[in-house]
Amino acid sequence: MTLVGKILVLVIMAFSLLFLGVSTVVFATARNWKDATAAEKKKVNDLQTKLKDAQAAKDAAEKSYKDAQSGFEAQAKQLSDRTRSLDEQTKRDLSQITAVRGQLVTAQQSAKSALDEVEAKRNETNLLRQQKSAVEKQANEFKLRQAELNDKIRELERVLEAATKNNSDLRSQVAKFSSLLRQSGLSDDISQMKGLESPPPVTGQVKRVDPTNRRIEMSIGSDDGLVLGHELNIIRLTPRPEYVGKIQIVAVEPDQAVGKVVGKTYQGKKIKEGDIVSSTIRPRF
């Protein structure tokens, strides 16, 4: 029962008592006190009935209040549970939103990386296309060049065939000439035959002399045109120009050669390192 209901009940009771007092006074002063008493009793009964009705209404109101309070508490509990559930759902949603934001950032970065990679692949593809075009152009040039080379190869094969035939003929002729030279008591060694020719104009130095003073090493060789059999003069320039002797090439390499003394040195002179070896300087006696 609410406070207002309680106040109303008290007010009703106060009015009831007031009416009772007034009725009593009226009954005492009235001439027809019995009728007045009966009327007052009837009023009292009516008031008691109203009081009972008011008490019943109060009890009903209290019951309704309790029922409403129970319903309110149930609703408040439901609302509290719903609020907690919504708070938890909100927290879960916030966590999901945070996770989704992180995934979105990661996805954006991945997308940017993918776009950069695609751009790089596209540039690489364009470069490969350019290279392919250049290679195809070069391949076409190579094909043309190959056709030209094939023509030259066929021409060279014809030349080689003719040269092979000429070589075979020359070998037969060389074999015949070698046989004739051996029959005549002459050597068919081409190096010895070249050695019979005059040596080219060369000048070098004695690098080393053996202990017997019969063999020397010199600073000129086959790159200078020397072959086996060539004969060179040995000249000494200091302290005065003089002729020492003559040597014959017995071994030759590109940048050096070995010679042996022909006969004896002039007046028995010893060959020394630094002496001049030459085909152009002639002795003066």
Going by pLDDT thresholds of 50, 70 and 90, the confidence category of residue 232 is very high
The per-residue pLDDT for 186 is 47
Going by pLDDT thresholds of 50, 70 and 90, the confidence category of residue 285 is low
Q: What is the pTM of this model?
A: 0.36
The dihedral built from the CA positions of residue 188, 190, 192 and 197, taken in this order, carries a sign that is: positive
pLDDT by residue (tens digit) across 269-282? 999 999 999 988 87
pLDDT by residue (tens digit) across 8-30? 777 788 877 887 777 776 666 65
Distance CA 74, CA 145 (A): 100
